A and B are shown apart, each in its own frame.
Chain A
Amino acid sequence: MLEVKNISKSFYRKIALDDVSLHVNQGEIFGLLGPNGAGKTTLIRIINRIIEPDSGHVRINGDLMTQKHLAQIGYLPEERGLYKTMTVQEHAVFLARLRGLSKADANRLLDQWLEKFNIGDWRKKRIEELSKGMAQKVQFICTVLHEPKLLILDEPLSGFDPINVELIKQELIEMKAKGKTIILSTHNMKSVEEICDRAVLIHQAKKIAEGSISELQEAKKDGIYAVKFRGNMIAFVNALWTGFEVVDKDILGDDRFVVRVKMRGDNSFEDLLKVLIGQVKIEAAWEVLPSMQDVFIDLVQGKKEVTDVQ
């Protein structure tokens, strides 16, 4: 769907993007991750043709991106504004028409969205009358109103209460199911884990990782396994002896626990199970993958090169 190839961009002496390449598949939710100032917004602006790269190019469905392709994109910037004196309807129709929609179609689709979000009575409200959360919803509707094939959302969940966060997440999942491609730039790693299929991590103008969420987690796993058992905790610890290390534990009941164990030396998951069987009653055991939060911190602080994990 979208291919970013060898994009470099500098603002005078400051390098904003250094030879960044990535690809986004049709119908996936793609996380664009990175700490503040990493170059994410610059990349998004280049994709949207708001600024031009010094080198490299962007292709959409195999074609070099041009002005005419912008109508296929819905862009919600992180710092987004609205014309305060316009009504919700005027604003949404104005932006949709800029993206090539006719007035009648814009109004028809706006009706559907307002109905879907149960905010039909906002139509004639002036933007300045809306609360921040309400305005966020209007901004989201304005972004998707022209039925873009590619959505680029920069921190779309910020400013929403938990109920609306869920609403937007569900909406994104629904859109994905309809074949839309979504690029999600966010610092909310929980959301990334929940809804993103793949992600790229940019740090200090460079891509430092790209892959599916599970691949990224896999690459950063520390050989930790969780064991859920019934029995005596002392017996569990004694059984491990020196080949394993208890990382932490959750007490589920008087004699029920979940313990996370790290392998030492050449010990494997099978070895772990062998030493425990007979000592406690194992109910479940699984490999613990790091959260995306941990992956992010580890990659950024460790700056380890794990490009193209897949």
Chain B
Amino acid sequence: MIKKYNIYLVLIILFFLCALINPNFLSIGNLSNISRQLAVTTILAFGATILIIGGMLDLSAGSVLALAGVLAVDCYKSTNSLILSLIVGILAGMACNLINAVMVANFKTPPFIATLAMMTMARGVALLYTQGQNILQLGDFVVFGQGTVFGMPVSVIFLIVIAIFTWYILKHTRFGRSLYAVGGNEAAAVASGINVIRSKYIAYLINGAFVGLAGVLFMSRINAGQPNGAIGFEFHALTAAIIGGTSFSGGVGTASGTLAGAFIVGFLNNIMNLANVDSYLQQVIRGAIIALAVIYDIWTKGRRTKGHLGNVEDKNKKQKVAS
């Protein structure tokens, strides 16, 4: 039970530590800036969390984000409709992930390979579509990433909606329960009457919608339709999910954990910037944190479950005593 709340403890400690180190950290401007910056990767991280829980993965997130983003931008430029361009972005993300789902669920391609292929394809399509040129002068399109409603950044509102949505589907829907089972033990899920293929489709489609939305927010924030943007964003998303306690072996993870993981990364980046830590050194630190998070996860799990020789007898014993 201690482990379950560790991550939130880390987040709170980090928050106060940051506040102590640099008084600017607590300013409304800085906090709102952190949230705005975090919105895109955190939304991607929720998609990644859903997939990893189900034993899947999306390496194509960054590329698909770029493709969805430039399509949305172009749509806005030709129609001047914010709603329409948002829908186009989301649908583009879902379309790419529909292909991911077909490869993974129907053709049983390992998710790593399938989405690696999609990563390359989507980037290619984005570059083809724009002929490698950035789309500029976005006009009102920038409200998604830069605007505010009652003082609240629009992208943060989207983030909150996605966070609640993710929490809800994981916790309260049949799909959520099925997904944990599929990732925890696919064969047993099939034998329990779970529609595994459908679960995988839904997981990729939700991820696709998140990626598409993130594309709109990202392009809007940087004020350009960049076909070459968002490279490597999928790894930022994975980082947040993993630090948030999502297990790469599948079947374990929560929306709140991922949110905490994303903010831990965000706070760290922010405080390092405020403290003028060398940006190259920042990368080293970020990498080390991922490694530590994973080692910690495996270490605690090793004690929780079977040893490498596959007998759970000792644990059984413990439980008997406990009861």
Please determine whether chains A and B interact with each other in the same assembly.
Answer: no
Point out residues on A near B: beta carbons under 8 Å: none
Point out residues on B near A: beta carbons under 8 Å: none
